[in-house]
Amino acid sequence: MGILAVAALVLGIIGLFFAWIPFLGYVMPVLAIIFGVIERNNEEKKGMALAGLILGIISLVIFKLGFWVLIMIGAIAENSGL
């Protein structure tokens, strides 16, 4: 059942590139985290699962930070009258 480890790694990598797209930037990292956690018990592809888990967490953090930066920019623009 090493396919989930590969899927976690691929979704984690793709999630880094699509972190700025609202739907893909959220769904791909969450799936990478879920698949990485599920596959961590498999001795065969433990490194790939861990890499997918870490990349999923990093891309989810990037997505959340980008989301809050956009919210702050919108609030600043609204208050400045632009």
Q: Are 8 and 39 in contact (CB under 8 A)?
A: yes
Amino acid present at 14: I
Residue by residue, pLDDT tens for the chain (82 residues) are 588 999 999 999 998 888 778 787 789 999 999 999 999 887 777 889 999 999 999 998 988 888 888 889 988 888 886 5
Report how far residue 8's alpha carbon sits from residue 55's, in angstroms, rounded to the nearest whole number: 9
> For residue 22, which phi and psi values (nearest 5 degrees)?
-55, -55
Going through 1-82 in order, the beta strands assigned E by DSSP cover: none
pTM: 0.81
Q: Are 32 and 75 in contact (CB under 8 A)?
A: no
Domain assignments of the chain as residue spans, ordered by start? 3-80
